[in-house]
């Protein structure tokens, strides 16, 4: 059973909704330790001085911000603590906006919000109002002395909260080189490209996709642990360079049409939440 990682309340107007926050993701990563090749001895990293090579104990290490080459401003924990935002257990909603106005690039990490004891009615009211108005909430949240910009969204029976990037953290498209500006596709090419997209279209099923590399690494580790011989996989062939875009589109569409038909679920009309 998941445990809440934070508790507080959502505030909008004069209404407070006590909530609990849960992780939406349990990350699956593979961690490796560094070992000495000759005997498998665990390698430990030491913090040393770049000038004399001496090991430096933790109580002798301070934070420094480089202002010019090899010149630092020393910043103490007291300096940082004096600037910390005032601790708060309230998620203060500042605006309600249309979800399509937010580029997904702003979203960073998401959490579930559930009502705390006695807050189910107020929680359901907020959830229903956001669904009815087709709006999501933009709010500020302070966790571990850091202020976050967040978006609260209705998702079925639950509210979710997504940590967002601030605007000055987003790289502008104008800073990216070589983005096309005045190129227009030919009508015939566009028609075939649309047919190709439609032929490959399906309803999104997240369970269909897997981290194949992670699964192969786990399988390889298990085989090694059991003493099995590992056979290297042949390198994947590089795809041929596309010379004629039209020919490539037509060949792709023809290949799909030759595949045996598979039963696809009927699409349901999307209902606004």
Query: Could you read off the pLDDT of 103-151 as tens digits, one per residue?
Result: 999 999 999 999 999 999 999 999 999 999 999 999 999 887 788 999 9
The residue range of the domain holding 145 is 6-26+84-169
* 219 in a structural domain: no
CA distance 22 to 113: 6
- Residues 6 or more apart whose Cβ sits within 8 Å of residue 143: 6
Domains identified in the chain, total number? 1
Distances (CA, A) of 36 to 42, 44, 45, 230: 6, 10, 13, 22
pLDDT tens-digit map of 214-273: 888 888 888 888 887 665 656 656 655 555 777 887 888 788 877 665 545 444 444 444
- Residues 6 or more apart whose Cβ sits within 8 Å of residue 158: 112, 113, 114, 127
Cα 238 to the center of its chain, rounded Å: 30
* 58 in a structural domain: no
Q: What is the CATH number of the domain that holds 123?
A: 2.40.290.10
* 237 in a structural domain: no
Average pLDDT of the chain, as a whole number: 86
Whether the pLDDT of residue 87 is over 50: the answer is yes
* 93 in a structural domain: yes
What is the structure's pLDDT at 258?
A: 74
CA distance 180 to 173: 11
What's the token pair of residue 233? Answer: 């996989």
CA distance 224 to 94: 55
* 136 in a structural domain: yes
What is the structure's pLDDT at 235?
A: 62
* 66 in a structural domain: no
* 122 in a structural domain: yes
For the chain, percent of residues with pLDDT exceeding 90: 49
Contact 33, 45 (CB under 8 A): no
CA distance 213 to 244: 33
What is the structure's pLDDT at 270?
A: 43
* 164 in a structural domain: yes
Contact 148, 163 (CB under 8 A): yes
What is the structure's pLDDT at 266?
A: 47
């Amino acid at each position: 059973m998941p445990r809440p990682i934070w508790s507080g309340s959502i505030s909008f107007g004069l209404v407070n909704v006590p909530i609990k926050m849960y992780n939406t993701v349990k990350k699956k990563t593979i961690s490796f330790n560094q070992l000495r090749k000759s005997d498998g001895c665990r390698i430990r990293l030491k913090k040393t001085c770049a000038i004399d090579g001496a090991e430096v104990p933790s109580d002798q290490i301070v934070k420094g911000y480089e202002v010019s080459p090899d010149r630092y401003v020393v910043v103490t924990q007291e300096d940082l603590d004096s600037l910390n935002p005032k601790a708060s257990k309230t998620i203060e909603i500042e605006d309600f906006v249309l979800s399509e106005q937010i580029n997904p690039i702003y979203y960073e990490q998401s959490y579930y919000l559930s009502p705390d004891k006695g807050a189910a009615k107020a929680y359901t009211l907020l959830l229903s109002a956001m669904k009815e108005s087709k709006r999501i909430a933009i709010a500020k949240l302070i966790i571990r002395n850091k202020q976050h910009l967040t978006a609260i969204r209705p998702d079925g029976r639950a509210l979710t909260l997504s940590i967002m990037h601030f605007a000055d953290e987003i790289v502008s498209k104008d800073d990216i080189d070589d983005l096309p500006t005045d190129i227009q596709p030919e009508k015939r090419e566009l028609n075939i490209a649309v047919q190709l997209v439609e032929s490959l279209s399906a309803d999104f099923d997240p369970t269909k996709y897997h981290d194949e590399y992670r699964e192969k690494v786990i399988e390889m580790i298990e085989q090694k642990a059991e003493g099995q011989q590992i056979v290297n996989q042949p390198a994947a062939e590089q795809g041929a360079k596309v010379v004629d875009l039209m020919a490539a589109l037509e060949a792709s569409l023809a290949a799909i049409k030759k595949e045996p038909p598979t039963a696809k679920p009927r699409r349901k009309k999307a209902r606004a939440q």
